[in-house]
């Protein structure tokens, strides 16, 4: 039986990030320009939160909100699922499914080294189906 791969094989390395004092307008531009849905929020290189397109879309629906004035720290989630790059793929996927997380921020030595999202799970599943289940 083959060993279960780690998420380092499938995670997106060097993810884009944003600072907590940045505006939602800046975050929205990053999401759009890089076609991403998750931004780790870093303060001095330390992970302090996570901002998603879903968060921004929800807040932008408030008519009184000015995205140029509203800061990332006012909207970001501060409870972030983190894991190490050597975590087993099945365990991370199970945890994400159980808690309905859209991503896991990958941290090593207190530094963000990647992000593992539902899109990465789809890529991993496709590869594993092609390589491990072919007769």
Per-10-residue mean pLDDT for the chain, 135 residues long? 89 95 95 96 96 89 83 95 97 97 96 96 92 71
Question: Are β-strands 111-117 and 82-83 bridged in parallel, bridged antiparallel, or unpaired?
Answer: unpaired
The pLDDT, as a whole number, for residue 52 is 96
The pLDDT, as a whole number, for residue 84 is 97
Rounded to whole angstroms, what are the CA distances from 84 to 4, 8, 105, 115?
15, 8, 8, 10
| Domain covering 7-132: architecture | Roll (3.10)
Q: Which residue has the tokens 């539902």?
A: 118
The pLDDT, as a whole number, for residue 3 is 86
What are the residues facing 46 on neighbouring strands?
A: 43
The pLDDT, as a whole number, for residue 64 is 80
Give the 3-state DSSP-derived string for the chain, with helices as H, strands as E and coil as C. CCCCCEHHHCCEECCCCECCCCEHHHHHHHHHHHCCCEEEEEECCEEEEEEEHHHHHHHHCCCCCCCCCCEHHHCCECCCCEECCCCEHHHHHHHHHHHCCCEEEEEECCEEEEEEEHHHHHHHHHHHHHHHCCC
Domain boundaries, the chain: 7-132
- Evaluate whether 47 touches 112 at the Cβ level (below 8 Å): yes
The pLDDT, as a whole number, for residue 1 is 65
């Amino acid at each position: 039986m083959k060993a279960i791969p780690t998420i380092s094989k499938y995670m997106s390395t060097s993810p884009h990030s944003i600072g907590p004092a940045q505006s939602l307008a800046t975050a929205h531009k990053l999401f759009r320009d890089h076609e991403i849905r998750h931004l780790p929020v870093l303060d001095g290189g330390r992970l302090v939160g996570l901002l998603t397109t879903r968060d921004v879309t929800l807040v932008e629906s408030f008519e009184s909100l000015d995205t140029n004035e509203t800061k990332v720290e006012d909207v970001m989630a501060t409870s972030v699922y983190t894991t190490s790059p050597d975590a087993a793929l099945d365990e991370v996927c199970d945890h994400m499914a159980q808690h309905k997380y859209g991503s896991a921020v990958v941290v090593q030595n207190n530094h963000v080294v990647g992000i593992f999202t539902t899109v990465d799970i789809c890529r991993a599943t496709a590869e594993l189906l092609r390589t491990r289940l072919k007769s």
